[in-house]
Amino acid sequence: MKKIYVFLLMPFLLVTCKKKKDDCETKNFGSLKVAFGAFTKRHSIIITYPGAANAREKIVPIGATSDTVQIPPDVYPITISSLNSSGQVVDQSVKSTTIAKCQQSDLSVPF
């Protein structure tokens, strides 16, 4: 019976994967996955856009071991921080990463 369910789900999974690939092609984005060493802290991911004076911040809740953001292809400085209960930075790391269309880049921090 399990084989029948898997067989029936395969076309759905293939269509879903194809749709995600088409989305990144049309919308021109890649993915950045950030892994955290401590899931007992809140984290902040700040993506600074090249050649612009603006940045995007994503606050990741306590309990998350990683998070993924979608951004246009380019080279970005990424600031990853752990935050205390008041939202102040405890630990911080600044890394540079290249985002390619429809590809995933991975970063990790020990905190």
User: Domain-by-domain residue ranges, the chain?
Assistant: 28-109
Mean pLDDT of the chain: 86
The confidence score (pLDDT) of residue 21 equals 58
CATH of domain 28-109: 2.60.40.3540
pTM above 0.95, yes or no: no
Q: State how far Cα 3 lies from the chain centre.
A: 33
Residue 99's alpha-carbon distances to 34, 75, 77, 110, in angstroms, are 13, 6, 11, 22
pLDDT higher than threshold 60 for residue 12? no
